[in-house]
Chains A and B, each alone.
Chain A
Amino acid sequence: MPGLKSVDQAVDRGAARDHRRMLGSLNDSEVVQSFLDGDERAFGELVKRYDSRLLNFVYRTIGDRERGQDLVQETFVRVYRHLHRFDQTKKFSTWIYTIAGNLAKNELRNRSRNPLVLFQTIKKNWDADHRPLEWEDHTYRPDDLYRKRHLKSMVEQAVAGLPEHHRIVFVLRELEGKTYEEIADITGCNLGTVKSRLNRARNNFARIVAPLVD
């Protein structure tokens, strides 16, 4: 009977909606546990929570939108495969960002296989780490109107122009709001290295965006 069928469908939809709402109210650890207990929908909740954040993090790190989507998909596939081995005493967020960060780093490393590109990257990174920290006072100038109009692309270029190991730390701190300890876990560096790289990243960023700030 069509009427009953539509009622059944409405009931099913309602139950699914309630279930999704229930999952949305859980924290990451509880959602992970639900998935490990057999609730397949719990994985969908994890995807919903992290897809946009990971996409922006990977995009800012590698600078390629399409490839960023592929890497985020690969991140979720790896999470799906290995979630049963995840140490639930640790933060899920740190774990998933570590996977995405490693994939982004591998992507950048693969791009620099060309010897010339590799040399330029090494030189750029060395200069960025060893150049003395300096600052010149840039005041607003009329010829910077062009730059003002292209603010968005200039700011994006400022981030993209950072050396890779500075960029990852800068994006994780300024855009993803990660703590120093989380950044250290995600990047596999110690706290001192994280602070040093972040300091240099901010210095480089400031030198590039200073003309845009009035």
Chain B
Amino acid sequence: MSCSEFLSSFSTFYDASPGSPERGVAEAHVSGCDSCRRYLEVVERGVSMLRAMPTLAVPANFGPRLEHRLMHVMEEENGLRAETGSAVPVVSVLGMAILLTAIAWTPKLLDSTPEVEIAPIVVSQPPEDAAPFGTARPPFLLGDVNPSPLRLGEGLFDDPTSLFYQYSPLGEKYRKSGLLRRTGLD
């Protein structure tokens, strides 16, 4: 075994059980090589120094702090279980939604308005006591100032002076212009 082989396979024989073949080969090399013997000694003593060093002590507040954290964990888990396990909130919200829907739709569903069939009224002539059409004086009546009230039964076009009149106050002005539509009133 060479020194480089010894170094590269050091852990194999170092952790091997006493009396194993790997350990035997390495021990044979170490017995004849000062450098590798020194290496083995440094590793062994270095590790024993490391193990002999005082270990960190667990601080006094470690346990109470952990208990406190675990209490929060338990509370969190119980809270989650309550939220997922209980269906009461869901059922109550659903019930209220159904109730409100029923209240909103009840008039339509229980509509008891009676349906009465009324015969159509056929009108062939105005009633006798109806207010005559045109009795209210139009605001911008031209031509005949006191037109006779138009009776519906007498024909719409029998008295042209009472039917055709200009609403616009500018009618007098436009009457003189070529754009004025002749109505037969002048």
- List the interface of chain A (C-beta within 8 A of B): 47, 51-52, 55-56, 59, 65, 68-69, 72-73, 76-77, 80-81, 132-135, 137-138, 151-152, 155-156, 158-159, 173-175, 180, 195, 198-199, 202-203, 205-206, 209-210, 212-213
What's the nearest-Cβ distance from chain B to residue A158, in Å? Answer: 7
Task: Report the minimum CB–CB distance from B115 to chain A (whole Å).
Answer: 69
A138 to chain B, nearest CB (A): 8
Task: Say whether B131 faces chain A, with CB atoms less than 8 Å apart.
Answer: no
> Interface code B50-65, partner A: CB below 8 Å = 1, 0 otherwise?
1101011111001101
Chain B min CB distance to A210 (Å): 5
Provided the pairs A52-B58, A205-B43 are in contact, do residues A135 and B7 lie with their beta carbons within 8 angstroms? yes
What B residues does A205 contact at CB under 8 A?
A: 43, 46-47
Assess whether B73 is interfacial by the CB under 8 Å rule: yes
Option from A180, A206, A212 in Cβ contact (under 8 Å) with B39: A206
A155, B39: Cβ atoms under 8 Å? no
Report yes or no: B73 in contact with A55, Cβ–Cβ below 8 A: no
With both chains docked as a complex, state the minimum distance between the C-beta of A58 and any C-beta of chain B, in angstroms.
Answer: 9
Is A175's CB under 8 angstroms from B8's CB?
A: no
Which 3 residue pairs spanning A and B have beta carbons closest together? A209-B46, A133-B7, A199-B11
Beyond known contacts A195-B12, A209-B49: 5 more, CB 8 A cutoff: A47-B63, A56-B56, A73-B65, A198-B11, A206-B42
15 pairs of residues in contact across A and B, judged by CB atoms under 8 Å: A51-B62, A73-B65, A73-B69, A137-B35, A138-B42, A155-B46, A155-B49, A156-B53, A174-B50, A175-B50, A175-B51, A199-B11, A202-B43, A212-B49, A213-B46
Q: Which residues of the other chain, B, contact A81 by a CB distance below 8 angstroms?
A: 73
A69 touches B62 (CB 8 A): yes
Which residues of chain A have C-beta atoms less than 8 A from B51's C-beta?
174-175
Distance of A7 Cα from B157 Cα, bound (Å): 125
User: B71 to chain A: closest CB distance in Å?
Assistant: 11
**A135 near B36: Cβ-Cβ < 8 Å:** yes
Cα–Cα, bound, A36→B154 (Å): 108
Contact A135 B12, beta carbon cutoff 8 Å: no
Closest residue to B59 on the A side, CB-wise?
A69
Query: Given the complex of chains A and B, what is the CA–CA distance between A132 and B35 in angstroms?
Result: 16
Picked from B4, B57, B66, the residue with its CB within 8 Å of the CB of A76 is B66
Q: Which residues on the B side are within 8 Å of A174 (C-beta)?
A: 47, 50-51
If A47-B63, A55-B58, A203-B7 touch, whether A135 touches B39 (CB-CB below 8 Å) is yes
**Contact assessment for A73 and B53 in the assembled complex, using a CB-CB cutoff below 8 Å:** no
Please report the C-alpha to C-alpha distance between residue A173 and residue B47 in the assembled complex, in whole angstroms. 10
Chain B residues near A195 (CB-CB < 8 A) = 11-12
Q: When the two chains form the complex, which single residue of B8, B36, B62 contacts A73, counting CB atoms closer than 8 Å?
A: B62
In the complex, which residues of chain B have a beta carbon less than 8 angstroms from the beta carbon of A56? 55-56
Complex alpha-carbon distance, A72 and B65, angstroms? 11
Residue of B nearest to A73 (CB): B66
Chain A residues positioned under 8 Å from B65 (CB to CB): 73
CB-contact partner of B49 in A68, A151, A180, under 8 A: A151
B77's nearest neighbour on chain A, judged by CB, is A81
